[in-house]
A = this chain, B = another copy of it.
Amino acid sequence: QSAGGRVHRLAVIGGDGIGPEVTEAALTVLDAAQARFGFTTERTDVPLGADNYQATGDLLTDDTVELLRGQDAILFGAIGSPAVTPGILERGIILALRAALRQAINLRPVRLYPGVPTPISGLTPERCDLVIVRENTEGSYVGGGNTVHRGTQAAVATQGSVNTWYAVHRAVDFAFRLAQQRRGRVTLCHKTNVLVEAGALWSDVMEEVAARFPDVEHDYVHVDAMCMHLPVAPERFDVVVTDNLFGDIITDLGAVLQGGLGVAASGNLNIEGTAPSMFEPVHGSAPDIAGRGLANPAGAALSLALCLASLGEGAAAAAVESATATVLADLPALSGEQMGASTAELGERIASVLAQGGT
């Protein structure tokens, strides 16, 4: 530990399936970043996920939440197992953490790195560099619902969506600030022509915030139209701000452009400083390939870069991103046997590019 250097408390949740191995690879990268940029981390392993649930019966205890709350940031691998009923872990851990730790924004850069194969023909890295800002705490994710006459032909299920000025404003304001540091454009993505109440709130807030940022352009695209434009004309977008459900959908489409989930990173940001933010690759736990070194740690490494940026280690963040991009550029395939190196080896490769001071 570098005496008197910057120290960050980091919770590490490897999780299930390929989660632990990609996280391990990201920590190898972190070691190299620390050595080069003169900061240290105090790391705490936190067992969460399907394996932990099956071993202990707990999804997320209050003690775990308090432990996490005391950290500066959280690195998260992936959770999930075919042995656990779908939905249980997602709601009981992922969504619960976003709420408990007030992680207002789900940040998903959609960036195509040079040399990474994308399924979109003719797409170039220059044309694909946007960020999706997803409101991460409400909308359809918190509306609740009700079912009457379940199991009969008279069944009716309702499902709600709650949208507060506070959370919408927090997301939109964040998007405009981010755009100021980028190419100066914010696009609202919603379905205002059908979801008129929520749509009006989002539109009202957009106008109100836009008035305070005269240097940032803004426009609006319906979510259905977004799915048409994003694949073929991502250069139209700089920062896209959207609600929780639409964000869930369009960020996965964004990952396609980037070459798939293995390369996609995300941050669940507490932007008020009241609790730590959490960073995770967009991919899942992929139990079918777990433990065999077949997963690409790029998503985890790029999530680490987002994490370092949030900790104020901007130079380290840029170097991790750049080293990851360098290693990605040379991969014969993005995952599996054809990748030409194991998950751990790729972590070491990124670390060594970083150590050599490239960038």
Contacts and interface: CB of A to CB of B under 8 A. Distances in A.
B228 A261 contact: yes
Interface in A225-283: 225, 227-228, 231-232, 245, 248-253, 255-256, 260-261
A161 interface: yes
Contacts of A140: 159, 161, 194-195
A201 interface: yes
Nearest to A192: B87
A193 B252 contact: no
Number of copies: 2
A197 B121 contact: no
B141 A194 contact: yes
Contacts of A232: 119, 256, 260
B162 A200 contact: no
Given A120-B120, A141-B194, A195-B145, A227 B204 contact: no
Contacts of A143: 158-160
Given A227-B249, A253-B228, A163 B169 contact: no
A201 B147 contact: yes
B157 A163 contact: yes
A56 interface: no
A61 interface: no
Interface string A190-224: 01111111101100100000000000000000011
Interface in A156-203: 156-166, 169, 191-198, 200-201
Given A140-B195, A248-B191, A252-B224, A119 B231 contact: yes
B201 A157 contact: yes
Contact of A165 (B122, B152, B223): B152
Contacts of A164: 155-156
A356 interface: no
A151 interface: yes
Contacts of A158: 143, 160-163, 197-198
Interface residues of A, number: 65
A337 interface: no
Given A160-B160, A227-B256, A91 B197 contact: no
A145 B193 CA distance: 13
A49 B86 CA distance: 45
A165 B159 contact: no
A162 B118 CA distance: 38
B147 A156 contact: no
A193 B87 contact: yes
Contacts of A196: 87, 91, 145
Given A145-B198, A156-B164, 12 more contacts: A90-B194, A91-B193, A141-B194, A143-B159, A143-B160, A150-B204, A158-B163, A223-B248, A227-B227, A227-B249, A228-B252, A228-B261
Q: Which 10 residue pairs of A and B lie closest in terms of their CB atoms, listed nearest first?
A: A145-B197, A121-B121, A87-B193, A155-B165, A157-B201, A227-B253, A159-B161, A224-B252, A157-B197, A159-B198
Interface of A: 86-87, 90-91, 95, 118-122, 140-141, 143-147, 149-166, 169, 191-198, 200-201, 204, 223-225, 227-228, 231-232, 245, 248-253, 255-256, 260-261
8 contacts: A87-B194, A147-B197, A156-B162, A158-B161, A159-B160, A159-B163, A159-B197, A231-B253
